[in-house]
Amino acid sequence: MPPPAARTYDTAAGPPRPEALTRIMLRPLASSLPLGFFAFGTGSVLLSAVQLEWVPLEQSRPVMLLVLVFVVPLQLLAGVFAFLSRDGGAACGLSVLGCAWAGTALVTLTGAPGQPSAGLAVFLLSVAPLMLLLSAAAIPGKPLFAVLLMVGACRFGLTGAYEAGGATVLRTAAGWVGVALAVFALYGGFALLLEDSAQRTVLPLGRRGRARTSLQGDLGHQLDQTEREAGVRRQL
C-alpha cells in the first residue's frame, strides 16, 4: 500500500488559518429562564406568607422546608442550564438566587420561629448589593430580568434590615414587596415560556441589543464572536 499523500497547500497564500480547519459544536437547549422565574415567584409567595403571618408562626418551618425542596433545586437547575446555554449573566443571577433561598430556608429551619437572626441579616444585606450589580449588568439586554433582580434586592434588603433588629413594619413591607415580585415573576415566566414555544415574542419582554438579535437574527448573529466565549477561548 503506498504511503498517504502529504498535505499540500498554496505556498503563496501560506498555511490555512485555524478558522478554516476548526469546527465548534453547539448543542441546542431549551431556555431555563421560565423555570427560574416560576421558581422565584413560588419562593416569593412562600416567604411572604411567613412574613405577613398568613400562616401561623409554628408553621413557618414546614413552609421553609418547601422552599428548600422545591424552589432551591429548580432555581439552581435553571442556573446550570443557563451556563450551558452560554448566558453567563442569567446563570449568575439564577444561581445566586437559588443559594440565597437555600441559606434563608436553612437559617429559618434551625432558628426559633419568629425570632430575628443577626447572621441572616448579615447574609441578606450582603446579597442585596450583589443582586443590584447583577441587575445593572442585565439592563442592556434583558430589562425584565434586571427589574426582577432589582426588586428582589430591595426585598432582601428590607428583610435583612428587619432581621438586624428593625421595626416590624420592615418585615411587613418586605412581605408585600414579595407579593408584587411573585406576580411580576409569574408574568415573566409565562411570557418567556410563550416566547420559547412560539420562537417569537408574544408578550412584551423588552429585549434589547444582543438579547433581541439572538431571537430575531439569523444564524450568523448566533455564532458571532463564538471563538471568544468561555469553553472555546483558552482562559476564562
Write out pLDDT tens, residues 118-150.
999 999 999 999 999 999 988 888 888 888 899
| pLDDT recorded at residue 69 | 94
Q: Is residue 16 part of a domain?
A: no
Q: Is residue 229 part of a domain?
A: no
| pLDDT recorded at residue 23 | 67
| pLDDT recorded at residue 229 | 65
- Summarize pLDDT for 5-39 with one digit per residue, the tens: 444 445 555 666 666 656 666 677 778 889 999 99
| pLDDT recorded at residue 68 | 94
| pLDDT, one tens digit for every residue, the chain (236 residues) | 444 444 444 555 566 666 665 666 667 777 888 999 999 999 999 999 999 989 988 888 899 999 999 999 999 999 999 998 878 888 999 999 999 999 999 998 888 877 888 999 999 999 999 999 999 988 888 888 888 899 999 999 999 999 998 889 999 999 999 999 999 999 988 988 888 777 776 777 776 666 656 665 566 666 666 666 666 666 56
| pLDDT recorded at residue 124 | 94
Q: Is residue 1 part of a domain?
A: no
Q: Is residue 208 part of a domain?
A: no
| pLDDT recorded at residue 194 | 87
Predicted structure pTM score? 0.79
Q: For residues 154, 207, 91 and 164, what is the CA-based torsion angle, rounded to 10 degrees?
A: 0
Q: Is residue 4 part of a domain?
A: no
CATH number where 88 lies? 1.25.40
Which of 65, 90, 77 lies closest to 39, judged by CA? 77
- CA separation, residue 159 to residues 121, 177, 196, 223 (Å): 7, 10, 34, 42
Q: Is residue 28 part of a domain?
A: no
Grid coordinates standing for 87?
Answer: 448566558
If one counts the domains in the chain, the total is 1
Which of 73, 79, 76 lies closest to 92, judged by CA? 79
DSSP state of 74: H
Q: Is residue 206 part of a domain?
A: no
Q: Is residue 225 part of a domain?
A: no
| pLDDT recorded at residue 6 | 45
Domain residues for the domain of 180 are 33-199
Q: Which residue has the cell 476564562?
A: 236
